[in-house]
Amino acid sequence: MRVEFADLSLIGDREENQDRVQVLAGERAVLLIAVDGMGGHADGAKAAQLAIETVRDAFQRITHPVFDPIGFLHLAIGRAHLNLVTLGARLPLESRPRATCALCLIQDDAAFFAHVGDSRIYHLRGGAVRERTRDHSHVELLLQEGVITEAEIATHPMRNLVECCLGGDAWLPGMAITRQKPLAPGDVLLACTDGLWSGLGDERIGSLAAEGEALAGGLRRLGEQAVRACGPYSDNTSAAALRYLGRGPSSAQSQTSGQTSGQTSGQASGQASGQTSGQAPAVRKTPAKGQRKAAAE
């Protein structure tokens, strides 16, 4: 399996970068990770860091290709959630560290998606969005019911509320995990936080899979466009992306396209399949316009 991958993490107009992204490239499998620490709660950066470390440890402890991809994704997210619950166990429930996350496992010329909250995974083909995950949020429900449009999500008053997340109470969040998605040469997989997708429409995001542009350059372009589109209140803007180049001897091209929060590895050789019980109350991710950088910066 031949692939090209890159990652990006921009602070935007916030005081602190609470996103974490990473590409983990094993000999016969690659994992894209995007985690968004929830700034409306305590220690969003710590929550994101602990979540990504937990997932990374789970991936590095197993053989590749992963024998049970869906089981692995469920286990990795479950462990990350419980570790965040432990991190905030002594705090009031409403203040505990929380995060949203998106994981994309690529192996055997196919991909598997898993996500919690409004961090997303996009499957791009031929310069367009083929499909994306559905957010665990109230505005996503309104979108699916035709009450609002995709363009109205970014300005909706309930935009910052998610229905489930990592951390908080001990109940496992309502994670969504897809079955196998076959890949075609040229396909791009994108795991990103809401800071990226909220400032860009499908047309711009789909352009990452257009021919003639290096993946790292395209990812940098999208990140900068998202920050400009949401300024002066842009969120942390982060993503990990992979271009599938086709079958063949195991190889990978690693590119870092921006300030990153993790180490990018080198040298790699249908909708939700089930829902676990989730947290019922919606949780606010961030103050609507809080924590922005001072004008002097």
> What would the pLDDT profile of 93-143 be if each residue is shown by its tens digit?
888 999 999 999 999 999 999 999 999 999 999 999 999 999 998 888 898
The whole-model pTM stands at: 0.86
> How many Å is the Cα radius of gyration of the chain?
17
Give CA 123 to chain center in angstroms: 13
Please, are residues 13 and 293 in contact by the beta-carbon 8 Å criterion?
A: yes
C-alpha 80/C-alpha 58 separation (Å) is: 10
The number of beta carbons lying within 10 Å of the beta carbon of residue 140 is 17
Q: Prior bond to 287 cis, omega within 30?
A: no
Q: Can you give the pLDDT at residue 263?
A: 36
- CATH 3.60.40.10 holds for 2-268: yes
C-alpha 10/C-alpha 117 separation (Å) is: 20
Q: pLDDT tens, 217-256?
A: 999 999 999 999 999 999 999 999 999 999 877 666 666 5
Q: Can you give the pLDDT at residue 264?
A: 40
DSSP structure string for 261-273:
SSPPP------BS
Q: pLDDT tens, 27-74?
A: 899 999 999 999 766 689 999 999 999 999 999 999 999 999 999 999
C-alpha 250/C-alpha 203 separation (Å) is: 31
Q: pLDDT tens, 177-191?
A: 998 999 999 999 999
Q: What is the 3-state secondary structure (H, E, C) of 66-124?
A: CCCHHHHHHHHHHHHHHHHHHHCCCCCHHHCCEEEEEEEEEECCEEEEEEECCCEEEEE
β-bridge mates for residue 178, sequence order: 272
DSSP structure string for 18-56:
-EEEEEEE-SS-EEEEEEEE-TTSTTHHHHHHHHHHHHH
